[in-house]
Amino acid sequence: MNFSWKQGLVLASLVAAAGTATAQSYPTRTITWVVPFAAGGPTDALARDIADKVAKPLGQQIIIDNQAGAGGTIGSGKTAKANADGYTFLVGHMGYMSAAPALYKKLTYDPVKDFEPVFRFPDTPLVLLVPKSSPYKTAADLIAFAKKNPGKLNFGNAGVGSTSHLIAALFASKAGIQVTQVPYKGAAPAMNDLIAGQVDAMFDQTNTALPQVAGGRIAPLALTSSQRMPQFAGVATLGEKALPGFEAATWYGLYAPKGTPKEVIQKVHQAYLKALTDKAWGQKMADLGIQALPEAQYAPEAFARHTAAEVDKWRKVAAEANITVD
């Protein structure tokens, strides 16, 4: 059947009207956020906290569905194939949304092509840590030793392809040193061995490292943030002294399956912006070392550019360090 241009205009207007109606009525039922990690971890905790804040302006409950496995790639792959109706979202993490394409030979999803970015969470910088008894008092001390003794400095990490593994690889690359990476089955056992002096150093997120630093069990040498943080008094950033220009953070964000209506994405994004105005919540995040971003960086378009850039960045780091998972 052939349509006239007038019929085409009518059809287009009906589609637009339907999209507007969907956005106006959305949401009408419970929304699911998939967290592809086990309950109780840092990604899960942050997702639940933000979901609670976003649910209020939307007027519907947001439930967390934990689908753990293969470093987050199983749950991510399933969510990529979910109905694009605005009721299923993925809580993304830099590991499976930027590094995974370089780490896995067979990935069932494309972080850039298979998802619609909705909003980026506040960033969580990392901190370079050493045992309390360590002879290294600054990041420069540690780098100097590694340059004189290639491969003798060892870094604990939460597992092959983990954030702590990738950041240590980036650090070694920028510093021009060779280090030995020691993978563990999670951040907790790696931290235990760091405290015991079984490994020389480790990168950990500021929010999870804070209790150990405050308890005097480990010593912080440098932050990966662009600026110093009051929670780590007297601790310099890597960029200001040891490695000018160095900056890195664990980042998270919310993604929808490709094809989710733009009006729905915008409505969820606006709900998030309302959540960010909660000063008490913002202070809680700051106290944990989680840093707010300029509002423009939370936008879907900016988050899409960030995701694509991070995929390219970690592909280069993984190739240089020869990091693969399978």
Identify the CATH assignment for 124-249 out of 3.30.2350.10, 2.160.10.10, 3.40.190.10, 2.60.120.620: 3.40.190.10
Check: CB of residue 77 under 8 Å from CB of residue 106: no
Q: For residue range 71-100, list pLDDT tens digits in order.
A: 899 999 999 999 999 999 999 999 999 999
Q: Which residue has the higher pLDDT, 7 or 309?
A: 309
Residues 73-108: b if buried by 16+ CB within 10 A, e if exposed: bebbbbbbebebebbbbbbbbbbbbbbbbbbbeebe
C-alpha triplet 230, 234, 236: angle, nearest 5° = 95
The answer for 322, left when phi > 0, alpha when psi is -120 to 50, beta otherwise, is left
Residue 1 has pLDDT above 50, yes or no: no
List beta partners, residue 254: 91, 119
Average pLDDT over residues 194-221: 95
What gap in Å lies between CA 293 and CA 289, rounded to an integer?
A: 13
In the chain, ranges of CATH 3.40.190.150 domains: 29-123+251-321
Longest dimension (CA), the chain: 80
Q: For residue range 224-267, list pLDDT tens digits in order.
A: 999 999 999 999 999 998 999 999 999 999 999 999 999 999 99
The mean predicted confidence, pLDDT, of the chain is 91
- Output phi, psi for 217, to 5 deg: -90, -20
C-alpha triplet 286, 288, 291: angle, nearest 5° = 40
Check: CB of residue 130 under 8 Å from CB of residue 201: yes
Q: Which residue has the higher pLDDT, 284 or 61?
A: 61
String of DSSP letters for 50-99: HHHHHHHHHTS-EEEEE---GGGHHHHHHHHTS--SSSEEEEEEHIIIII
What gap in Å lies between CA 266 and CA 24, rounded to an integer?
A: 11
Give the containing element (helix H, strand E) for 271. Answer: helix 262-276
pTM for the complete prediction? 0.87
In the chain, ranges of CATH 3.40.190.10 domains: 124-249
Do you find a cis peptide bond into 27, omega within 30 degrees of 0?
yes
Check: CB of residue 268 under 8 Å from CB of residue 104: no
Residue keyed to tokens 């899409």: 304
Q: For residue range 16-61, list pLDDT tens digits in order.
A: 444 554 567 999 999 999 999 888 888 898 999 999 999 999 999 9
Q: Which fold has domain 29-123+251-321?
A: D-Maltodextrin-Binding Protein; domain 2 (3.40.190)
